[in-house]
Amino acid sequence: METSKPVKILWVGPLCSESSLMIEDLKSHGVFIDQSAATAAIGDKLPMIQGVIVALETDIEPLRKVRSEQTKSKSSVPMIVRVDRDNFELGILAMRHGATTVVPMQNHNSKDWLEVLNVAKVTAAEETEGFIFADPVSRNLLALTERVAKVDVTVLLEGPTGSGKEVISRILHEASPRHSGPFIAFNCAAMPENLIEDMLFGHDKGSFTGASNCQPGLFEQAQGGTIFLDEIGEMPFHLQAKLLRILQERSVTRLGGQKSIDLDIRVIAATNRTLKNAIYERTFREDLYFRLSAFKITLPSLSQRPLDILPLAQQFINQQAPIDGQMTLTTDAERSLISYHWPGNVRELQNVMIRAVVLAQSGGIDLEHLIFDDIDDAPVEHSTSPFSTSSAMVPNHFQPYKGTDNQPKPLSNAIQDSEYQTIMTALQRSRNRDQAAEVLGISTRTLRHKLQRLREQGMSVTRAYAR
């Protein structure tokens, strides 16, 4: 994709002959490269550039220096890191320390780099719902999104709350031929029902009491660009027919108006609901569903892309950390973040990191600084005596099996119940699963397998105990 306006990029690090050729090719596509190997003057240049390319060879020290200058200047420009294809560990470390994306050093294709620059610009600009493309699942999603973006087709995004649907919708827009046009986002659940129609379709003068002027709706305002309808499953049923008509005829009529206005727009819709269930419940039109889902993209939950967790966490830390110091995660904290199930997805991760920065204040973020929301956990009662095996520590849903007619149960069942009680007790008295595993003298992986086996055997293991 060619850029719509000149882009200024700062290059930090060594240059090889192939890189020099790529730089010249990028310049021919309107990308100005400031080849500065020194990091001393980076702070002065950050306000004037749209991105930084950092070439890493053996360690991340150049990236640390760039990140430090970026923090001081409160800059949010994307940082693209180049590493050798065989040095994958260095790339992962770079993501943990604030890199927006990592590209193999062997990639000298200017077209690919233009795509990277555009995507990096979008992801860096989005601060509330981050999306890091480090996990293979995320990279596949990005590749699919870029392909779909080039085709002017209506797209339906499905995924859980906080999974980054608006971020993907912005990438679809920025990577499309409509990128120079407006991007209009509207949440169908955020407005009272009586205002949604006026907001979307607009009104003519005199169409209702108080309508003293003509007002174009959001569909008109999106002319030449993209309109993003978030939480489409919450749109009132009687308005769905009007939306269907717009999609079919590519025109809109204002409230109280007689004139049909032709539309040149792309429609992207998103939902966290299963629309097929809504169709069955007769709360969503089947014909509208098929119009919206000309191409459907399903977004994974955060737990389904675990390699994105730590880079995202560090990104949120960097956004909140004090200017005079860089905060990082300890190994124990990293393990805890990876093992957590993240029911609130990226939004929950951001909340956890904000709390952690506040509690840690400076230096490293450890287990004690991580406070999870646990929004889908069952209530857990805690005993005042740690790791007591008394009845007060046994979950209230657990009743020891006594066999028929109060006869002693088989030894295997007794061992199973004892193991269950011991694991539940440790989990109740621990901040997280990692700490519980340490208390039990087993690895976190072993504990996870034991919990899964207990579930398969019919034992009640709630998320509160299995976090």
Kindly report, residue by residue over 27-78, the tens digit of the pLDDT: 776 677 776 545 556 666 766 677 788 888 888 888 888 877 776 666 667 7
What value does the mean pLDDT of the chain take? 75
Residue 215 and residue 229 in one domain: yes
- Is residue 271 a part of any domain in this protein? yes
Clarify whether residues 340 and 399 are in a common domain: no
Query: What element of type H or E holds 319?
Result: helix 309-320
Return the biggest CA–CA distance within the chain. 86
Beta bridge partners of 226: 183, 266
- Same domain for 285 and 307? no
pLDDT band at 281 (very low <50, low <70, confident <90, very high): confident
* CATH number (domain holding residue 83): 3.40.50.2300
Instruction: Check whether residue 167 and residue 271 sit in a common domain.
Output: yes
Last residue of a domain, one of 277, 298, 319: 298
Q: What is the CATH number of the domain that holds 327?
A: 1.10.8.60
376 domain residue, yes or no = no
Query: What's the pLDDT band for 254 if we cut at 50, 70, 90?
Result: confident
If one counts every other C-beta atom within 10 angstroms of the C-beta of residue 306, the result is 15
The answer to whether residues 50 and 124 touch, using CB atoms and an 8 Å cutoff, is no
User: Which of 298, 328, 359 delimits the end of a domain?
Assistant: 298
Q: What pLDDT is attached to residue 17?
A: 67
* Residue 273 in tokens: 């609901």
Mark whether 187 and 253 lie in a shared domain.
yes
Residues 336 and 444 in one domain: no
Residues 422-433: tens digit of each pLDDT? 787 777 777 777
* Residue 65: how many other CB atoms lie within 10 Å: 16
More confident residue, 347 or 459: 347
Q: Mean pLDDT, to the nearest integer, of 154-176?
A: 89
Range 350-379 average pLDDT? 78
Q: Kindly state the average pLDDT of the residues 293-305.
A: 91
Residue 345 located in a structural domain: yes
134 found inside a domain: no
User: What confidence score (pLDDT) does residue 114 get?
Assistant: 66
Question: Same structural domain for residues 64 and 101?
Answer: yes
User: 171 is in which domain, residue-wise?
Assistant: 146-298
Whole-angstrom Cα Rg for the chain: 27
H or E stretch covering 253? strand 251-253
Full 3-state SS string of 47-64: HHCCEEEEECCCCCHHHH
Query: How confident is the model over 79-126, as pLDDT tens digits?
Result: 788 887 677 667 767 766 767 777 777 766 666 666 666 655 544 444
More confident residue, 157 or 375: 157
Q: Residue 211 — pLDDT band, cuts 50, 70, 90?
A: low
One domain, residues 259 and 401: no
Q: Is residue 384 part of a domain?
A: no
- Whether the per-residue pLDDT at 185 is higher than 60: the answer is yes
Q: Can you give the pLDDT at residue 414?
A: 55
Q: Which residue has the higher pLDDT, 164 or 325?
A: 164
The H or E element spanning position 446 is: helix 444-456
151 with 294, same domain? Answer: yes
Amino acid at 414: A
- The share of the chain scoring above pLDDT 90, in percent, equals 13
Domain presence at residue 131: no
DSSP labels for 405-437?
Answer: GGPPPPHHHHHHHHHHHHHHHHHHTSSSHHHHH
pLDDT band at 1 (very low <50, low <70, confident <90, very high): very low
Whichever domain contains 276, its CATH number is 3.40.50.300
Q: Which of 29-38, 128-137, 410-419 has the lowest mean pLDDT?
A: 410-419
Into how many domains does the chain fold? Answer: 4
Partners of 364 in the beta sheet?
328
Which of 111-120, 260-269, 297-306, 327-336 comes out lowest in average pLDDT?
111-120
| pLDDT of res. 26 | 74
pLDDT, greater one: 363 or 300: 300
- Is the pLDDT assigned to residue 286 strictly greater than 80? yes
Q: For residue 382, with 0-12 CB atoms within 10 Å meaning exposed, 13-18 middle and 19 or more buried, which class applies?
A: exposed
> Does 379 map to a domain?
no
The confidence score (pLDDT) of residue 378 equals 39
Q: Are residues 252 and 162 in the same domain?
A: yes
Residue 414 lies in a domain: yes
Q: How long a stretch of residues is the chain?
A: 467
Q: What is the pTM of this model?
A: 0.55
Q: Are residues 191 and 330 in the same domain?
A: no
User: Same structural domain for residues 94 and 192?
Assistant: no
Final residue of a domain: which of 69, 90, 125? 125
Q: Is the pLDDT of residue 388 over 70?
A: no
Res 154: pLDDT: 94
